[in-house]
């Protein structure tokens, strides 16, 4: 009987949790907002750069890991490619590579806002909810 109760409870918990998470892109936005908050809370420019760079690398790694599972649809692949390109451009601009002017130390807070606002404007409707949630989970898990 206890196992039935446990099963029913877990099942209901899953059912109830799904609507609460029905917004993968929102989670992605919140992730980048947290990064921006961390950047702003740090005084040292080198540390700000490290936080940003690490977040871009982590995101790229998560996207690569997701791709390597082979479970991505063609439609999701287009969205993931777009997100990867954006991460690469952010990384290049931060470091001043590939034709980008390096983001100056006194502009790092604004740059972190730019990353968030760019994400807010991006129409990533080509990435399914499941893939977006997987990306977030991978970003959290990958250290």
**Out of 23, 60, 65, 95, which residue is the one contacting another protein (CB under 8 A)?**
23
18: contact with another protein by CB under 8 A: no
In the chain, which ranges are continuous DSSP H helix?
2-20, 24-41, 45-68, 74-95, 108-121, 129-141
103: contact with another protein by CB under 8 A: yes
Shortest Cβ distance from residue 105 to another protein (Å)? 14
CB 45 within 8 A of CB 105: yes
Contact region with another protein (CB under 8 A), list: 26-34, 43-51, 56-64, 134-142: 26-34
**C-beta pairs of 103-109 under 8 Å, 24+ apart in sequence:** 105/45, 105/48, 106/45, 108/39, 108/45, 108/48, 108/49, 108/52, 109/36, 109/39, 109/40, 109/48
126: contact with another protein by CB under 8 A: yes
79: contact with another protein by CB under 8 A: yes
CB 61 within 8 A of CB 137: no
**Of 7 and 46, which has the nearer Cβ to another protein?**
7
Residues of the shown chain interacting with another protein in the complex, contacts defined by CB under 8 A: 1-2, 4-5, 8-9, 12-13, 15-16, 19-20, 23, 25-26, 29-30, 33, 37, 74-75, 77-79, 82, 89, 93, 100-101, 103, 107, 110-111, 113-114, 116-118, 120-121, 123, 125-126
């Amino acid at each position: 009987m206890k196992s039935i109760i446990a099963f029913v409870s877990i099942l209901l918990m899953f059912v109830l949790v799904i609507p609460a998470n029905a917004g993968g892109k929102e989670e992605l936005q919140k992730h980048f907002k947290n990064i921006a908050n961390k950047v702003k809370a740090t005084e040292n420019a080198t540390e700000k750069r490290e936080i940003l760079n690490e977040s871009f690398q982590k995101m790229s790694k998560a996207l690569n890991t997701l791709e390597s599972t082979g479970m991505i649809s063609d439609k999701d692949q287009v969205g993931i490619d777009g997100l990867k390109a954006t991460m690469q451009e952010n990384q290049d601009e931060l470091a001043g590579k590939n034709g980008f002017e390096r983001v100056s130390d006194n502009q790092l807070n604004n740059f972190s806002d730019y990353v968030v606002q760019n994400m807010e404007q991006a129409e990533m409707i080509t990435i399914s909810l499941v893939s977006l949630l997987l990306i977030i989970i991978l970003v959290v898990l990958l250290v």
